[in-house]
Amino acid sequence: GENVEQHPSTLSVQEGDSAVIKCTYSDSASNYFPWYKQELGKGPQLIIDIRSNVGEKKDQRIAVTLNKTAKHFSLHITETQPEDSAVYFCAATSAWSSASKIIFGSGTRLSIRP
């Protein structure tokens, strides 16, 4: 079945540096790739997403890239700040699916060192 692998599982970066989280997916029918940020004790929040007809999307300090051929997609956070500390989940789904079942990666715990 569909599988999404996410790396690394933990990531620690100096404040102001960049952070990169990488994911791979297995189902070539996947065409929508959201990223979620989960702060401690809260539900995951959608922070950015990308569709398969786009190679890159940027929103202020965060950007996502997608390589459909290689089935890779990545989250890039630049100029990291303490409030970026959280667990990040990548996900993949086929938007045509009636139930929109999303396959999530296992998560990356990002820590920003002051």
Name the site residues for another protein (rule: CB under 8 A). 32, 34, 36, 41-46, 49, 51, 89, 93-95, 97-102, 104-107
| N residues, the chain | 114
Shortest distance, CB of residue 16 to another protein, whole angstroms? Answer: 27
* Tokens at 15, concatenated: 């404040």
Residue closer to another protein, measured from CB, 51 or 61: 51
Output 89 or 112, the one with its CB closest to another protein. 89
- Min dist CB 100 to another protein, Å, is 4
**Closer of 80 and 88 to another protein (Cβ):** 88
DSSP state of 93: B
Q: State whether residue 82 is helix, strand or coil.
A: helix
Residue 99 Cα to chain centre, angstroms: 21
Residue whose CB is less far from another protein, 17 or 29: 29
CB of 90 to another protein, least distance (A): 11
Distance between start and end Cα atoms, the chain: 41
63 phi, psi to nearest 5 deg: -145, 150
Least separation in angstroms between CB 42 and another protein: 6
Between CA 75 and CA 34 the distance in angstroms is 10
